[in-house]
Amino acid sequence: MKKTKLNLLTSRENYQGIEKIFAFIRIFFFIQLSILVVLFAFLFISAINQNSKIGNLLSQKESFLESLKNKEGNEAQLFYIQNKYQSLKDFLKEDARSLPYYNLLNSALSKSSESATLKSFLISKNRDVTFTVSFAHFDELLSFFRFIESDKFLSNFEKVSLKSFSALGDSKERQNYELAFTGRFIELHEATN
């Protein structure tokens, strides 16, 4: 073959060594390119899988939030019931079981005078009691003084004392008399109630 053009930039050295180097470089780049294509395909597939998992989790989150929103009223009711139950437990710890003692005092008052009225009644857990008895007439008050000194009345208490006496009313004909007592009841057992 006849050369019509001269290449002045190249010299006449051994090009076969350089061609081998370029062949290795080309093979190296093809290997690198194939590794990058495989790596890109793997990352693309894993990204698609992650996106589908995230989409599923987001839809699950939405459904949970919706159900939580629907059950918010129920949760408030359960919280209210829990608070009421705790209050009941606290009350039962401090409860004096006042009904048997109230009935005991009321029955003792009914034995004394039909017109003696139990106006207030307060009992503690330790059976300490404060109560007020009112009377419409002075004669009833005097008969009650005799009764509170009797064993029928005093047998209901470990100790009892008169706290105050007051006469309430606007005229002598319309007076109301009150006696306030403090004391401690005897202990009543559940079997006797």
Note whether 183 and 154 are same-domain residues.
yes
pTM: 0.47
User: Is residue 7, in this structure, part of any structural domain at all?
Assistant: no
pLDDT of residue 193: 41
What 8-state DSSP symbol labels residue 189? P
The domain boundary residue, chosen from 95, 118, 144: 95
Containing domain of residue 182, as a range?
Answer: 98-192
CA distances in angstroms from 96 to 100, 183, 187, listed in the order given: 10, 15, 11
pLDDT of residue 54: 95
pLDDT of residue 192: 45
Contact 122, 129 (CB under 8 A): yes
Q: Helices 98-112 and 138-148, interaxial angle, to 10°? A: 120
For residue 41, the Cα-to-chain-centroid distance in whole angstroms is 54
Residue 11 in 3-state DSSP? Answer: coil
Name residues of the chain where pLDDT drops below 50: 191-193
Residue 31: both structure tokens together: 């290997």
pLDDT of residue 83: 87
User: Is residue 175, in this structure, part of any structural domain at all?
Assistant: yes
Residue 68: both structure tokens together: 């939580």
The domain boundary residue, chosen from 48, 68, 95: 95
Which residues have C-beta within 8 Å of that of residue 166, sequence separation ≥ 6? Answer: 177, 178, 180
- What is the residue whose two structure tokens read 């059950």? 71
- Residue 165's DSSP bridge partners are 179
pLDDT of residue 191: 40
Note whether 115 and 72 are same-domain residues.
no
What CATH number has the domain bearing residue 133?
3.30.1360.100
